[in-house]
Structure 1
Amino acid sequence: MQSVGTQIYMAHQIHKTALVMHSAERMFHLVNDVPRYPEFLPWCAGAEVVEEGEGYRVASLDIAKGGMHHKLTTRNQVQEPESIEISLADGPLKSLTGRWQFHSLDDNACKVILTLDFEFSGSLSRMAFGPVFKYVANTMVDAFCRRADELYGRGSV
């Protein structure tokens, strides 16, 4: 926790891992395919890539849950198929950094790791957006693993 003036900001970290029976390449492409998020992430009302260049993408997500609606835009450094580095471009957070990692175990298995560090911009933001964002962050890895099984079958290459 850090104190800035009279406001106190609390940093949060989420670290999730999963061993999946899909290649690192498939999992990387699934996570990197932002426009398809609304097809399988129940809290995602919209998603688009707003800018793309050599090794990066700027993507916006419309997050809607429980009557709350927020837009979150991130700049993502892409190192195919190993990792996606996430940093906040715009949204209801004070800060957001994170990283998706895809470690190949063999041709048809990998370890997926998601780490997110974030701070809310104030107590009102924390109260309004906090439960929604924590839910989103805590369920993302499982949602992508389920989506991979739906698209590629369980235990496929």
Structure 2
Amino acid sequence: MATTINKTALLPHSAKTMFDLVADIASYPEFLPGCSGAQIIEQTENVVVGKLDLSKAGVTQSFVTRNTNTPHTSITLALEDGPFESLGGEWRFDALSDEACRVSLDLTFQLRSGLLKMAASRLFESVANDMVDAMVKRANQLQKEKAS
């Protein structure tokens, strides 16, 4: 059975700022709880293939997604490789003004059966649920650093 995660936040940051932050996969280990590694495998103008390593409570899982970017509007994720039967989703960045936006993350995933399925499912669900909050904290932190 597939798990679906839907998170939305209204932010005092531009859609461009939030898009750029989410699109910067390589920086995820610096601020995303549970993300122990990130690697860009392939990159073209609007497509990034990236690998994330997630670790929590002694469980580590890696997966690769193909991210199709529509600059400052959306990032669509599709599974390339990993412990999932299926994984897909989308980040959306809706500008509300020059300095405010709505960020939404919709993910649907199903893990392959196996011994670590329950632990891996909890790991991914935990990290996915924390992603929007972590992006908000990171944007606020970067804004403070820029202001000082």
- What is the TM-score normalised by the length of structure 1? 0.89
Distance 2:140 2:52 in 1: 23
Aligned to 2:60: 69
Distance 1:104 1:68 in 2: 37
Distance 1:108 1:131 in 2: 35
2:78 to 87, 99, 102: 87
In structure 1, the gaps of 5 or more residues are: 1-9
Q: Which residue identity is paired with 1:72?
A: F
Distance 2:17 2:101 in 1: 10
Decide whether the 8 Å contact of 1:97 with 1:118 is kept in 2.
yes
Secondary structure (helix, strand or coil) at the match of 1:124 reads: coil
Shift of 1:43: 0.8
Shift of 1:15: 0.4
1:114 to 85, 105, 129: 105
Secondary structure (helix, strand or coil) at the match of 2:32 reads: coil
1:103 to 85, 94, 101: 94
- What is the TM-score normalised by the length of structure 2? 0.94
Q: Which residue identity is paired with 2:140?
A: D
* 1:127 equivalent in alignment to 2:118: yes
Distance 2:111 2:62 in 1: 14
* 1:18 equivalent in alignment to 2:13: no
Query: Percent same amino acid among aligned pairs?
Result: 46
1:60 to 51, 59, 74: 51
Runs of 4+ in 1 over 3 A off after TM superposition: none
* 1:141 equivalent in alignment to 2:132: yes
Q: Which residue identity is paired with 1:63?
A: L
Distance 1:80 1:58 in 2: 16
Aligned to 2:34: 43
Q: Deviation per CA, 1:74-107: give whole Å up to 9, x if none.
A: 0000100100000111111110000000000001
Aligned residues: 145
| Superposition RMSD in Å | 1.2
